[in-house]
A = this chain, B = another copy of it.
């Protein structure tokens, strides 16, 4: 396959810039696409070429396959990098690229089909011998059958309504004694809620961790894993902090999970970068959750401890090169990533789009800022609220936490509200510092993570605010030179304006 010379990056924000940086280092030209809301965005200026693709809503611009392909042709791009989100896991887009003779930097459509839909993926994984959360795929005809099944997989279990979701018809059952009454109430609740009393059973996982394995494959069937990422710090299934190595993994468990992840990827003839997500329970059993058939947001932590450039590897794999390594490198040191969101934690994490009036990013040793914004940029209203990913490296986890704290303390964003203070509280929380935090960590500790007020700092703030007000008043007095003499006679209207009025 020929070398890629020009890449269209079918994305926006930090990930578009991330991909373009590697392209630039590889001597590959880049093409940006932008919606009406992104004309002023940084990825437009970072690229060598840039084309408009439609109105702000992504379904009218970034998700319109024909527009993207049209730009690829017009600009002479020979490959498309989809980033994450948008068209990155869209098998029909992969087929359209193929038809247009443009290299899609990602897995083949068939692998996406096999992993795209959750129940299909689950079935495929069971077939391949990959452990999934134990449970019945079909509802039960009688209570007896159900009870036998529950005993077989072992308590605690979950009863789940086949017909719906949202917590309705769900019952956690601790032991055989509780089974009968739970069964009855689950069925009646399911009937009331969904008009369907079918109920199935899944194993209840205690304090699960979200641990994912990065996999990588070339076009010749060579498939390796690149160790894990611990992503249990989640809020509403949104990852907030990620790290590697996982503090709960032993080398043995890492090897075992890595092996299973490679098995999963091979089962679908995977090519390129992918991530196999697992739940790990309190007994350190692990179960397949889903596979993300693309680059992950949190790939920088893997890059820190392996020294690899995953985007460069993706491009090389798409060019038909063989994998440059045959097994996972032993993780070197520790890396933590925190996601900086334009949101206000104190107002229920309400999004906070708007204009960034001032921005200062952290520097110094082993700090990486993957940002998609700049001072003067108005964070648009239409897309993901993540404005940057800050990641750090250090020899040990404790040092990495200290470094992340230091870096966050240097991060200043003005004009919009961000979660920086929340991230600091998160990293300081004893449960996080301890390392064994599960997926309910953030929800359980919501109040503690809101932070406590230091009265000494509040007093300093009052002093500062008085000086601020004084300076403001002095400046106003200066801009209104005559106001000092004449007093408040003009009723707050500046004499400049007054003068102008008089002239009209």
Query: Which residues of A approach B to under 8 Å, CB–CB?
Result: 17-18, 21-22, 24-27, 300, 303, 307, 309, 332-333, 360-361, 363-371, 374-375, 395, 399, 402-403, 405-406, 409, 482, 495-496, 499-500, 502-503
Contact = CB atoms under 8 A, between A and B. Distances in A.
A365 B300 contact: yes
Given A18-B365, A307-B395, A496-B496, 4 more contacts: A24-B409, A332-B332, A360-B374, A482-B503
Nearest to A404: B25
29 contacts: A18-B365, A21-B365, A21-B406, A22-B365, A24-B409, A25-B399, A25-B402, A25-B405, A25-B406, A26-B402, A307-B333, A307-B395, A309-B365, A360-B374, A361-B361, A361-B363, A363-B368, A363-B369, A363-B370, A363-B371, A364-B370, A365-B370, A366-B368, A367-B368, A375-B375, A482-B503, A499-B499, A499-B500, A499-B502
Contacts of A363: 361, 368-371
Contacts of A368: 363-367
Contacts of A24: 406, 409
A17 B495 CA distance: 46
Contacts of A496: 496, 499-500
A403 B365 contact: no
Contact of A402 (B27, B364, B370, B409): B27
Nearest to A496: B496
A482 to B, nearest CB: 7
Nearest to A366: B368
A387 B363 CA distance: 13
A375 B370 CA distance: 20
Chain B CB within 10 Å, residue with most, of A303, A499, A500, A502: A499
Contacts of A361: 361, 363
A502 to B, nearest CB: 8
Contacts of A403: 25
Contacts of A395: 307
Contacts of A333: 307
A56 B403 CA distance: 33
A88 B499 CA distance: 61
A220 to B, nearest CB: 22
A456 to B, nearest CB: 13
A361 B368 CA distance: 12
Contacts of A309: 365
B332 A17 contact: no
Contacts of A365: 18, 21-22, 300, 303, 309, 368, 370
Contact of A21 (B364, B370, B500): B364
Contacts of A369: 363-364
A175 B24 CA distance: 51
A499 B406 CA distance: 53
A17 to B, nearest CB: 7
Contacts of A406: 21, 24-25
Contacts of A409: 24
Contacts of A375: 375
A7 to B, nearest CB: 15
A363 to B, nearest CB: 4
Give 3 closest A-B pairs by Cβ, nearest first.
Answer: A499-B499, A25-B402, A363-B369
A402 B17 CA distance: 16
A364 B499 contact: no
A332 B305 CA distance: 12
Contacts of A402: 25-27
A368 B361 CA distance: 12
Contacts of A27: 402
A403 B27 CA distance: 11
A361 B409 CA distance: 18
A368 B21 CA distance: 15
Nearest to A368: B365
A499 B402 CA distance: 59
A370 B366 CA distance: 11
Which of A22, A363, A375 counts the most chain B CB atoms within 10 A? Answer: A363
Contacts of A364: 17-18, 21, 368-370
A500 B24 CA distance: 55
A395 B406 CA distance: 27
Nearest to A303: B365
Nearest to A403: B25
